[in-house]
Amino acid sequence: MKIGVSSYSFWAYLNDGRLDNVSVIEKAAQLGFEGIEYSGIGVPATDPKVMDAARKIREAAAKAKMPIVSYTIGADFLRAAGGWEAEVERLKGEVRVAAALGVKMMRHDATQGFPKDHAGPADFAAALPILAKACRAATEFAEGLGIRTTVENHGFFAQDSERCEQLTKAVGHKNFGALVDIGNFLCADENPVAAVRRMAPYAFHCHVKDFHTKPAQAAEPGRGWFKSRGGNYLRGSIVGHGNVDVPACLAAMKAAGYDGWLSIEFEGMEDNLLALGIGAENLKKYVAKL
Protein backbone atom coordinates (compact mmCIF):
# COMPACT_ATOMS: atom_id res chain seq x y z
CA MET A 1 0.00 0.00 0.00
CA LYS A 2 1.19 3.51 -0.84
CA ILE A 3 0.50 6.55 1.31
CA GLY A 4 -1.12 9.63 -0.16
CA VAL A 5 -2.97 12.68 1.09
CA SER A 6 -6.11 14.53 0.07
CA SER A 7 -5.76 18.20 -0.82
CA TYR A 8 -8.74 18.66 1.52
CA SER A 9 -6.38 17.96 4.42
CA PHE A 10 -4.64 21.31 3.76
CA TRP A 11 -7.94 23.16 4.05
CA ALA A 12 -6.75 25.95 6.37
CA TYR A 13 -3.69 26.72 4.22
CA LEU A 14 -5.73 26.66 1.02
CA ASN A 15 -8.47 28.84 2.48
CA ASP A 16 -6.14 31.63 3.60
CA GLY A 17 -3.85 31.51 0.56
CA ARG A 18 -0.70 30.14 2.18
CA LEU A 19 -0.97 27.28 -0.33
CA ASP A 20 -2.80 26.82 -3.62
CA ASN A 21 -3.69 23.76 -5.64
CA VAL A 22 -0.26 23.72 -7.29
CA SER A 23 2.02 24.52 -4.34
CA VAL A 24 0.22 21.92 -2.22
CA ILE A 25 1.92 19.23 -4.33
CA GLU A 26 5.40 20.21 -3.17
CA LYS A 27 4.23 20.52 0.42
CA ALA A 28 2.72 17.04 0.32
CA ALA A 29 6.02 15.67 -0.98
CA GLN A 30 7.97 17.45 1.77
CA LEU A 31 5.73 15.79 4.36
CA GLY A 32 6.62 12.37 2.98
CA PHE A 33 3.54 11.50 0.97
CA GLU A 34 3.89 9.44 -2.19
CA GLY A 35 0.77 10.68 -3.97
CA ILE A 36 -1.97 13.29 -3.77
CA GLU A 37 -5.67 13.32 -4.51
CA TYR A 38 -7.69 16.42 -5.22
CA SER A 39 -10.93 17.38 -3.54
CA GLY A 40 -11.93 19.79 -6.26
CA ILE A 41 -9.37 22.06 -7.89
CA GLY A 42 -10.80 25.45 -7.00
CA VAL A 43 -12.42 26.02 -10.40
CA PRO A 44 -15.96 24.81 -11.19
CA ALA A 45 -16.26 22.24 -13.96
CA THR A 46 -18.50 24.68 -15.83
CA ASP A 47 -15.83 27.40 -15.88
CA PRO A 48 -14.00 27.72 -19.23
CA LYS A 49 -10.74 27.98 -17.30
CA VAL A 50 -11.11 24.60 -15.58
CA MET A 51 -9.17 22.58 -18.16
CA ASP A 52 -6.23 24.96 -18.03
CA ALA A 53 -6.24 24.70 -14.24
CA ALA A 54 -6.34 20.89 -14.43
CA ARG A 55 -3.46 20.79 -16.91
CA LYS A 56 -1.30 23.06 -14.73
CA ILE A 57 -1.89 20.78 -11.73
CA ARG A 58 -1.14 17.69 -13.80
CA GLU A 59 2.10 19.19 -15.12
CA ALA A 60 3.20 20.28 -11.63
CA ALA A 61 2.48 16.81 -10.24
CA ALA A 62 4.42 15.16 -13.05
CA LYS A 63 7.38 17.49 -12.47
CA ALA A 64 7.36 16.64 -8.77
CA LYS A 65 6.92 12.92 -9.56
CA MET A 66 3.83 12.99 -7.35
CA PRO A 67 1.02 10.90 -8.87
CA ILE A 68 -2.52 12.25 -8.67
CA VAL A 69 -4.35 9.20 -7.39
CA SER A 70 -7.98 10.30 -7.35
CA TYR A 71 -10.37 13.21 -7.87
CA THR A 72 -13.09 13.84 -5.27
CA ILE A 73 -16.23 15.87 -5.88
CA GLY A 74 -19.70 16.19 -4.38
CA ALA A 75 -23.00 15.03 -5.80
CA ASP A 76 -26.55 14.44 -4.66
CA PHE A 77 -28.87 12.45 -6.89
CA LEU A 78 -31.95 13.02 -4.70
CA ARG A 79 -31.67 16.77 -4.14
CA ALA A 80 -30.18 18.06 -7.37
CA ALA A 81 -32.22 20.55 -9.38
CA GLY A 82 -33.58 18.73 -12.39
CA GLY A 83 -33.41 15.31 -10.77
CA TRP A 84 -30.83 12.55 -10.94
CA GLU A 85 -30.55 12.71 -14.73
CA ALA A 86 -29.44 16.34 -14.57
CA GLU A 87 -26.95 15.49 -11.82
CA VAL A 88 -25.45 12.75 -13.99
CA GLU A 89 -25.01 15.26 -16.81
CA ARG A 90 -23.26 17.63 -14.42
CA LEU A 91 -21.00 14.82 -13.26
CA LYS A 92 -19.93 14.16 -16.83
CA GLY A 93 -18.22 17.54 -16.76
CA GLU A 94 -16.38 16.53 -13.60
CA VAL A 95 -15.31 13.26 -15.24
CA ARG A 96 -13.74 15.31 -18.03
CA VAL A 97 -11.85 17.32 -15.40
CA ALA A 98 -10.62 14.06 -13.88
CA ALA A 99 -9.41 12.98 -17.31
CA ALA A 100 -7.56 16.28 -17.73
CA LEU A 101 -5.88 15.68 -14.37
CA GLY A 102 -4.78 12.29 -15.63
CA VAL A 103 -6.42 10.31 -12.84
CA LYS A 104 -7.85 6.85 -13.33
CA MET A 105 -10.36 7.10 -10.50
CA MET A 106 -12.81 9.60 -9.05
CA ARG A 107 -15.25 9.75 -6.19
CA HIS A 108 -18.66 11.37 -6.12
CA ASP A 109 -21.24 11.36 -3.35
CA ALA A 110 -24.59 9.60 -3.62
CA THR A 111 -26.95 11.73 -1.52
CA GLN A 112 -27.74 13.23 1.86
CA GLY A 113 -31.28 11.90 1.62
CA PHE A 114 -34.58 13.00 0.18
CA PRO A 115 -35.45 16.71 0.48
CA LYS A 116 -37.84 17.68 3.26
CA ASP A 117 -40.67 18.36 0.82
CA HIS A 118 -40.39 14.92 -0.81
CA ALA A 119 -43.77 13.22 -1.22
CA GLY A 120 -43.80 9.50 -0.58
CA PRO A 121 -41.48 7.03 1.13
CA ALA A 122 -38.18 8.67 2.08
CA ASP A 123 -36.20 5.75 3.46
CA PHE A 124 -33.12 4.12 1.96
CA ALA A 125 -35.15 1.36 0.31
CA ALA A 126 -37.00 4.00 -1.69
CA ALA A 127 -33.79 5.78 -2.59
CA LEU A 128 -31.73 2.75 -3.63
CA PRO A 129 -33.18 2.20 -7.14
CA ILE A 130 -32.67 5.88 -8.00
CA LEU A 131 -29.12 5.97 -6.65
CA ALA A 132 -28.20 2.75 -8.43
CA LYS A 133 -29.44 4.02 -11.80
CA ALA A 134 -27.62 7.31 -11.37
CA CYS A 135 -24.33 5.77 -10.25
CA ARG A 136 -24.46 3.26 -13.09
CA ALA A 137 -25.10 5.98 -15.68
CA ALA A 138 -22.18 8.02 -14.32
CA THR A 139 -19.77 5.09 -14.27
CA GLU A 140 -20.72 3.97 -17.78
CA PHE A 141 -19.76 7.42 -19.07
CA ALA A 142 -16.56 7.50 -17.00
CA GLU A 143 -15.55 4.05 -18.25
CA GLY A 144 -15.37 5.47 -21.76
CA LEU A 145 -12.68 7.88 -20.54
CA GLY A 146 -10.76 5.19 -18.66
CA ILE A 147 -11.86 6.37 -15.22
CA ARG A 148 -13.32 4.20 -12.49
CA THR A 149 -15.93 5.76 -10.18
CA THR A 150 -16.56 5.30 -6.49
CA VAL A 151 -19.00 6.37 -3.81
CA GLU A 152 -17.71 7.02 -0.31
CA ASN A 153 -19.42 6.24 2.99
CA HIS A 154 -20.30 9.89 3.43
CA GLY A 155 -23.29 12.17 3.94
CA PHE A 156 -25.09 10.41 6.84
CA PHE A 157 -27.93 8.92 4.74
CA ALA A 158 -25.88 6.39 2.72
CA GLN A 159 -23.02 6.11 5.19
CA ASP A 160 -23.20 2.86 7.13
CA SER A 161 -21.62 -0.22 5.61
CA GLU A 162 -24.86 -2.12 5.02
CA ARG A 163 -26.28 0.67 2.87
CA CYS A 164 -22.97 1.17 1.06
CA GLU A 165 -22.83 -2.53 0.27
CA GLN A 166 -26.41 -2.53 -0.97
CA LEU A 167 -25.64 0.39 -3.28
CA THR A 168 -22.47 -1.20 -4.65
CA LYS A 169 -24.29 -4.45 -5.38
CA ALA A 170 -27.28 -2.65 -6.89
CA VAL A 171 -25.07 -0.72 -9.33
CA GLY A 172 -23.44 -4.00 -10.27
CA HIS A 173 -20.86 -2.60 -12.69
CA LYS A 174 -17.19 -3.60 -12.86
CA ASN A 175 -16.19 0.07 -13.23
CA PHE A 176 -17.92 1.06 -9.99
CA GLY A 177 -16.64 0.42 -6.48
CA ALA A 178 -16.32 1.83 -2.99
CA LEU A 179 -14.14 4.48 -1.48
CA VAL A 180 -13.78 3.14 2.05
CA ASP A 181 -13.21 5.91 4.59
CA ILE A 182 -12.28 4.09 7.77
CA GLY A 183 -13.29 6.96 10.05
CA ASN A 184 -16.53 8.01 8.43
CA PHE A 185 -18.42 4.96 9.66
CA LEU A 186 -18.46 6.64 13.06
CA CYS A 187 -20.74 9.29 11.55
CA ALA A 188 -23.32 6.52 11.25
CA ASP A 189 -22.48 5.21 14.75
CA GLU A 190 -20.92 2.04 13.36
CA ASN A 191 -17.82 0.22 14.58
CA PRO A 192 -15.15 1.12 12.02
CA VAL A 193 -13.36 -2.24 12.06
CA ALA A 194 -16.55 -4.25 11.50
CA ALA A 195 -17.69 -1.82 8.81
CA VAL A 196 -14.35 -1.94 6.99
CA ARG A 197 -14.47 -5.74 7.02
CA ARG A 198 -17.81 -5.58 5.22
CA MET A 199 -16.76 -3.00 2.64
CA ALA A 200 -13.12 -3.87 1.98
CA PRO A 201 -13.94 -6.45 -0.75
CA TYR A 202 -15.54 -3.66 -2.81
CA ALA A 203 -12.80 -1.07 -2.27
CA PHE A 204 -11.20 0.78 -5.15
CA HIS A 205 -9.68 3.40 -2.82
CA CYS A 206 -9.25 4.09 0.90
CA HIS A 207 -9.28 7.22 3.05
CA VAL A 208 -7.52 7.05 6.40
CA LYS A 209 -9.32 9.34 8.81
CA ASP A 210 -9.40 9.42 12.60
CA PHE A 211 -11.86 10.94 15.08
CA HIS A 212 -12.06 11.83 18.73
CA THR A 213 -15.41 10.63 20.11
CA LYS A 214 -17.72 11.40 23.02
CA PRO A 215 -21.05 9.73 23.79
CA ALA A 216 -24.30 11.57 23.20
CA GLN A 217 -24.94 11.87 26.94
CA ALA A 218 -21.65 13.68 27.54
CA ALA A 219 -21.56 17.39 28.21
CA GLU A 220 -21.71 19.39 24.97
CA PRO A 221 -18.00 19.82 24.07
CA GLY A 222 -18.26 23.10 22.17
CA ARG A 223 -16.54 24.29 19.03
CA GLY A 224 -14.88 21.85 16.67
CA TRP A 225 -17.27 18.98 17.34
CA PHE A 226 -20.27 17.74 15.38
CA LYS A 227 -22.91 15.08 15.95
CA SER A 228 -23.18 11.66 14.37
CA ARG A 229 -26.43 10.36 12.93
CA GLY A 230 -27.29 9.01 16.38
CA GLY A 231 -26.23 12.09 18.31
CA ASN A 232 -22.73 11.11 19.46
CA TYR A 233 -20.00 13.75 19.34
CA LEU A 234 -17.14 13.61 16.84
CA ARG A 235 -14.08 15.76 16.17
CA GLY A 236 -11.50 15.14 13.47
CA SER A 237 -8.13 14.06 14.84
CA ILE A 238 -4.55 13.39 13.81
CA VAL A 239 -4.24 9.84 12.50
CA GLY A 240 -3.33 7.69 15.48
CA HIS A 241 -4.53 10.19 18.09
CA GLY A 242 -8.23 9.39 17.92
CA ASN A 243 -10.55 6.52 18.71
CA VAL A 244 -10.47 4.72 15.36
CA ASP A 245 -8.47 1.48 15.51
CA VAL A 246 -6.49 2.38 12.41
CA PRO A 247 -4.15 -0.65 12.43
CA ALA A 248 -7.10 -3.06 12.69
CA CYS A 249 -8.91 -1.31 9.85
CA LEU A 250 -5.80 -1.52 7.67
CA ALA A 251 -5.44 -5.20 8.53
CA ALA A 252 -9.04 -5.75 7.40
CA MET A 253 -8.29 -4.00 4.11
CA LYS A 254 -5.21 -6.15 3.56
CA ALA A 255 -7.08 -9.35 4.46
CA ALA A 256 -9.57 -8.55 1.70
CA GLY A 257 -6.73 -8.25 -0.81
CA TYR A 258 -6.58 -4.46 -0.97
CA ASP A 259 -3.18 -3.15 -2.06
CA GLY A 260 -4.10 0.31 -3.32
CA TRP A 261 -3.59 3.84 -2.07
CA LEU A 262 -4.21 5.01 1.48
CA SER A 263 -5.01 8.73 1.45
CA ILE A 264 -5.00 10.63 4.72
CA GLU A 265 -7.98 12.94 5.01
CA PHE A 266 -7.51 15.25 7.98
CA GLU A 267 -10.24 17.60 9.18
CA GLY A 268 -9.21 18.37 12.75
CA MET A 269 -8.47 21.61 14.59
CA GLU A 270 -4.69 21.22 14.74
CA ASP A 271 -2.34 22.97 12.33
CA ASN A 272 -2.65 21.11 9.04
CA LEU A 273 1.06 20.62 8.45
CA LEU A 274 1.78 19.47 11.99
CA ALA A 275 -1.17 17.08 11.89
CA LEU A 276 -0.27 15.65 8.50
CA GLY A 277 3.38 15.18 9.41
CA ILE A 278 2.48 13.19 12.52
CA GLY A 279 -0.27 11.34 10.69
CA ALA A 280 2.06 10.31 7.88
CA GLU A 281 4.64 9.05 10.38
CA ASN A 282 2.02 7.00 12.21
CA LEU A 283 0.45 5.60 9.06
CA LYS A 284 3.82 4.49 7.71
CA LYS A 285 4.47 2.62 10.97
CA TYR A 286 1.09 0.91 10.83
CA VAL A 287 1.56 -0.16 7.22
CA ALA A 288 5.05 -1.47 7.92
CA LYS A 289 3.65 -3.73 10.63
CA LEU A 290 0.92 -5.28 8.47
Domain 2-288 falls under CATH 3.20.20.150: yes
| Structure confidence by residue, pLDDT tens digits, 106-156 | 999 999 999 999 999 999 999 999 999 999 999 999 999 999 999 999 999
Q: What is the rounded average pLDDT of the residues 197-224?
A: 98
Domain parsing of the chain, residue ranges: 2-288
| Structure confidence by residue, pLDDT tens digits, 227-271 | 999 999 999 999 999 999 999 999 999 999 999 999 999 999 999
Q: Which distant-in-sequence residues (6+ apart) come within 8 Å of 28 by Cβ?
A: 4, 5, 10, 36, 66
Q: Per the confidence metrics, is the pTM higher than 0.85?
A: yes
For every residue of 103-145, DSSP letters joined together read -SEEEE---S---TT--S--SHHHHHHHHHHHHHHHHHHHHTT
pLDDT at 51 (0 to 100): 98
pLDDT at 21 (0 to 100): 97
